[in-house]
Every structure is written in C-alpha cells, then in structure tokens.
Amino acid sequence: MSPVDQLVSEVRRLLGLLTDIKVLRSRVSGETAILEIVSHSPSATLAVELLCAAANVSVESNASSDDSALYGITTWDLVVSTRGFDLVPHGYLQLLAIHLVWHLHAIGVIPEQAANALLDMWHGGRVGARQAIQAGAALRWGPNEV
C-alpha cells in the first residue's frame, strides 16, 4: 500500500470516529483523494465542513451518489489534494488528518498519547498541557514572564 493510500485509510478511520459521520467509500486519482461521506446530523456536517475549511479541503454535495438516490440521504465528497508542498509531503490530505486528530482529541475521543503519536508522524503540533509548557519555555514565555 502506498503512503498516500495508507494516509487515506487513516483519514477514513478518523472520520469514522466522528459522531454521526460514516465514510462510504474513498478513492485516489492522480494527486487527488476523494472520500464520500454521509452525515446523519447538521452538527456533524458543520464539524466536517469546519475541519475541511481549516485544512483547505473542498466539501461538495453529491446528490448523484447511488446512496443519495437509493436512500434519500445527502452524501458529501471531500476532495483533497495529496500533492506535497513545503514540509507537508502529502499535501492537504495530511493537513486534514492533523486537524481531525486535534479535533478528536479536543472532544475526548483520542487520548493525548495516541494523538501525539499521530501528530508526530504527520509533523503536526502536539496536544496536551506538557506540550504547552514546553512551547512556552522554548519561546522564553511562561507564567512568571508575562
């Protein structure tokens, strides 16, 4: 499995941890990954839209989906560039993965240690109080130096 396919698989898993979100299918074509999801609540849809906006990922309604036609549900396509840039080898797909981990940690779905293991792998900023203290010390800023 290619590194991009592995990352798509991980993003699918992370999206599946969101309440009321189900990933129906995914595919990679060239330098673009497309993940088709269904949302069962407006709040879940909004959460995905905000995460995608933060990661510069397109969210498109897919009324032509077989699932939309058969079951009367709205499916969404997350259209994600996998083209690398700067220090981000897998492009906006990698940024989406990072934002998902931050969000899932913030809502208590992923514990700090597991979140940081993923974030380290994807070069994302770490989560947790210890990291905030270390970041403050690195910037020579702390509670006594305000």
pLDDT digits (tens, 9 = 90+) for 105-137: 999 999 999 999 999 999 999 998 665 555 554
Can you give the pLDDT at residue 126?
A: 96
Can you give the pLDDT at residue 134?
A: 57
pLDDT digits (tens, 9 = 90+) for 27-82: 999 999 999 999 988 999 999 999 999 999 999 998 776 665 566 677 899 999 99
In sequence order, what are the residues at sequence separation of 6 or more whose Cβ sits closer than 8 angstroms to the Cβ of residue 113?
none
Tokens at residue 53, please? 């906006």
What count of other Cβ atoms lies within 10 Å of the Cβ of residue 96? 27
pLDDT digits (tens, 9 = 90+) for 80-104: 999 999 989 999 999 999 999 999 9
With 0.95 as the threshold, say if the pTM is over it. Answer: no
Three-state SS at 25: strand
3-state helix, strand, coil in the chain (%, to 5): 45, 20, 30
Q: Among the residues of 19-128, which ranges form H helices?
A: 42-54, 66-71, 91-106, 112-121
Domains with residue ranges and CATH for the chain: 3-138 (3.30.1360.100)
